[in-house]
Amino acid sequence: MLQNKVVVHFQDGRIIKGTTADFFPDKERFHLNQIDAPVGSKPIEVQISQLKAVFFVKDYRGQPKREDKNEFDPSKPPMGRKIKVRFKDGEEILGTTQGYQAGRSGFFVIPADPDSNNERCFVVASATQEVSLV
């Protein structure tokens, strides 16, 4: 079964890194195998309602000193609708979406910066302050 590398951000500020094989945007929970858990540990159950976002990443180290570009490459037309998300904690994400609808519990965003460590991000709507199409 395909294991997705994820970094899970909770609304209370906690961050957990791990893998998941059962994340679905329309489900209320999924299981996470933490990368720093002892061998043989069982996955933890994560409630979507407690989350800010689920970042599907290329690697866990990322590039801590790098800042993603907050602009689209004009030579590459974006796939989907351009969107800007501001979370309640002040973080902002600029990217594209094909599934945003006001009133839904969450939606995926593909970062505008192709060199971002994030391949895509599932944004939990209740953790956002503002969502705007750009």
| Residue 40: how many other CB atoms lie within 10 Å | 5
Q: What is the pLDDT of residue 12?
A: 96
Angstrom CA distances, 124 to 39, 64, 83, stand at 30, 23, 14
Q: Is the pLDDT of residue 106 over 70?
A: yes
Angstrom CA distances, 113 to 30, 96, 123, 127, stand at 28, 10, 17, 22
DSSP 3-state assignment of 43?
Answer: coil
Q: What is the pLDDT of residue 65?
A: 75
Q: What is the pLDDT of residue 85?
A: 96
Residue 104 in tokens: 């839904």
31 vs 74, higher pLDDT: 31
What's the whole-number average pLDDT of the chain?
Answer: 91
Domain range for 28 is 4-60+68-133
Q: What is the pTM of this model?
A: 0.92
Beta bridge partner(s), residue 92: 86
How many structural domains does the chain have?
Answer: 1
Query: Could you tell me the pLDDT band of residue 1, with boundaries at 50, 70 and 90?
Result: low
Angstrom CA distances, 77 to 26, 68, 74, 121, stand at 29, 18, 7, 20
pLDDT tens string 47-99: 999 999 999 999 998 777 777 777 787 778 888 899 999 999 999 999 999 98
Residues 6+ apart with CB under 8 A from 31: 20, 21, 22, 43, 44, 45, 46
The rounded percent of the chain whose pLDDT value lies above 90 is: 69
How large is the average pLDDT for residues 10-37? 95
Angstrom CA distances, 38 to 34, 44, 52, stand at 9, 13, 26
